[in-house]
């Protein structure tokens, strides 16, 4: 029995049907079937998402809000329905707690910039971890410079896990903000976000969670997490690029100053002053990515239509199979061995440069990512310049994992 057949006969997750929903997976690269293992960078899109964006532009394209015509009404209805879809997906209390952004990066910049103006003061501390993406480091560096606050970093252990005892020690009455990733994009480590938030609240710190790598792999309930802010990107959730979400508790969003100024985010304007619109529009200056929001809602509909528990188990099987094959190769060095992690395989092959490995894999139709993965401080902590990263999603198969290692075996002959 082939690995693919074994998965199909599990009766909880029909991988053959799932793959049929993603047209790009049928593509060939250099005359070979595409093996797409760069899902931590961006996911492929199901046909339902492609159709939703096409249908919007074909049938409902208009600007939203205040339009005095049918097309604008239709576009507004789709746009706000998409906001409600996101609300339900992450279990936010109110739809106006959902702010549309370009992605996680803009969302974190929005929070950091606003808190630097309204909340941070000299002597405050901002607590992040050593595994953060640049998008959850640099905005806080700038916020610290602008406010006189200090950036503090929680270290990780040799497995790539947050050293929780040190995290608790670093928390103190000066800690104003705790900004942590839910899942490491470079290592796959799943952080104890609920516990992080719980301890942060004991010192009245504002909590900001980077959920870019989490939402496609595990359920997220922001009310259960009790975080103040949660951010993610649509394109890592099988949705379009250029659309993202900032969730914020209503009171926190009310206190936060707007990030950009212009149309839509104002209530009134004179040449002397302006007043801001109500939530969520206070943070949505200019014409939004309407088609992107519609596409993201379609991606959420797609995820809600499949067996998500089965998908999680499937990804776990892929990772277990990957690790078993990695152990059979004596020149594979794995980075990120946390007990609780997503299906990210970050590694080096002997003394070979990651980009050389990636190039040779691409010649065999295998798409991976190489480099520092926008986590240069983490790579410095690990004493390396970067890794090769294969990241799996619900549409990948065990056969593809086996083909990755067959390709790596061939790479060895060239290096």
8-state DSSP, 16: H
Q: In angstroms, rounded to a whole number, what is the distance separating the alpha carbons of residues 334 and 323?
A: 9
Instruction: Put the strands of the sheet holding 244-248 in their side by side order.
Output: 98-101, 244-248, 229-233, 206-210, 175-181, 125-129, 150-154
Secondary structure of 195-264 in HEC code, one letter for each residue:
HHHHHHHCCCCEEEEECCCCCCCCCCCHHHHCCCEEEEEHHHHCCCCCCEEEEECHHHHHHCCCCCCCCC
List C-alpha distances in Å: 257 to 68, 113, 117, 156: 30, 9, 8, 34
Q: In angstroms, rounded to a whole number, what is the distance separating the alpha carbons of residues 391 and 195?
A: 26
Residue 219 sits at φ, ψ, to 5 deg, of: -65, 145
Q: In angstroms, rounded to a whole number, what is the distance separating the alpha carbons of residues 263 and 80?
A: 18
Catalytic residue set: 374
Nearest to 29 by CA among 286, 280, 360, 398: 360
DSSP 18-42: HHHT-GGGG-EETTEE-EE-BTTT-
Q: In angstroms, rounded to a whole number, what is the distance separating the alpha carbons of residues 1 and 118?
A: 61
Match 């992690």 to its residue by tokens: 341
Nearest to 335 by CA among 157, 128, 135: 157
Nearest to 315 by CA among 340, 344, 337, 336: 344
Residue 86 sits at φ, ψ, to 5 deg, of: -65, -40
- Bridge partners of 333, per DSSP, are 348
Q: What are the start-end ranges of the E strands in 249-364?
A: 266-269, 274-276, 332-335, 344-349
List C-alpha distances in Å: 132 to 37, 135, 148, 212, 260: 21, 8, 21, 11, 25
> What is the widest separation between alpha-carbon atoms in the chain?
75
Are 203 and 173 contacting, i.e. CB atoms less than 8 angstroms apart?
yes
């Amino acid at each position: 029995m082939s690995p693919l057949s074994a998965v199909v006969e599990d009766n909880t997750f029909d991988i053959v049907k799932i793959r049929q929903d993603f047209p790009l997976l049928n593509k060939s690269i250099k005359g070979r079937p595409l093996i797409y293992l760069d899902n931590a960078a961006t996911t492929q899109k199901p046909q339902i998402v492609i159709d939703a964006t096409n249908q919007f532009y074909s049938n409902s394209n208009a600007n939203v809000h205040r339009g005095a015509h049918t097309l604008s009404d239709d576009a507004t209805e789709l746009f706000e329905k998409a906001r409600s879809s996101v609300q339900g997906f992450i279990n936010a209390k109110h739809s106006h707690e959902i702010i549309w952004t370009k992605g996680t990066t803009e969302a974190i910049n929005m929070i950091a910039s606003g808190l630097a103006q309204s909340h941070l003061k000299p002597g405050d501390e901002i607590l992040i971890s050593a595994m953060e993406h640049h998008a959850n480091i640099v905005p806080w560096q700038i916020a610290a410079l602008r406010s006189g606050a200090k950036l503090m970093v929680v270290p990780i252990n040799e497995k790539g896990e947050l050293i929780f005892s040190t995290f608790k020690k670093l928390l103190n009455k000066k800690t104003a903000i705790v900004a942590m990733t839910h899942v490491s994009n470079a290592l796959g480590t799943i952080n104890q976000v609920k516990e992080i938030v719980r301890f942060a609240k004991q010192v009245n710190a504002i909590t900001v969670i980077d959920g870019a790598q989490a939402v496609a792999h595990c359920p997220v309930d922001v009310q259960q997490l009790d975080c103040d802010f949660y951010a993610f990107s649509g394109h890592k959730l099988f949705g379009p690029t250029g659309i993202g979400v900032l969730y914020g508790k209503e009171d926190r969003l009310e206190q936060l100053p707007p990030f950009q100024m212009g149309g839509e985010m104002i209530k009134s304007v004179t040449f002397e002053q302006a007043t801001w619109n109500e939530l969520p529009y206070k943070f949505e200056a200019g014409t939004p990515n309407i088609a992107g929001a519609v596409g993201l809602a379609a991606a959420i509909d797609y995820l809600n239509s499949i067996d998500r528990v089965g998908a999680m188990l499937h990804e776990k099987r892929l990772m277990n199979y990957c690790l078993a094959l990695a152990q059979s190769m004596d020149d594979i060095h794995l980075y990120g061995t946390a007990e609780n992690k997503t299906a990210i395989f970050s590694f080096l092959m002997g003394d070979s440069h990651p980009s050389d490995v990636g190039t040779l894999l691409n010649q065999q139709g295998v798409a991976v990512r190489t480099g520092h993965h926008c986590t240069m401080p983490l790579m410095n902590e690990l004493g390396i310049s970067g890794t090769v990263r294969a990241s799996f999603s619900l549409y990948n198969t065990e056969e593809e994992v086996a083909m990755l290692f067959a390709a790596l075996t061939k790479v060895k002959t060239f290096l």
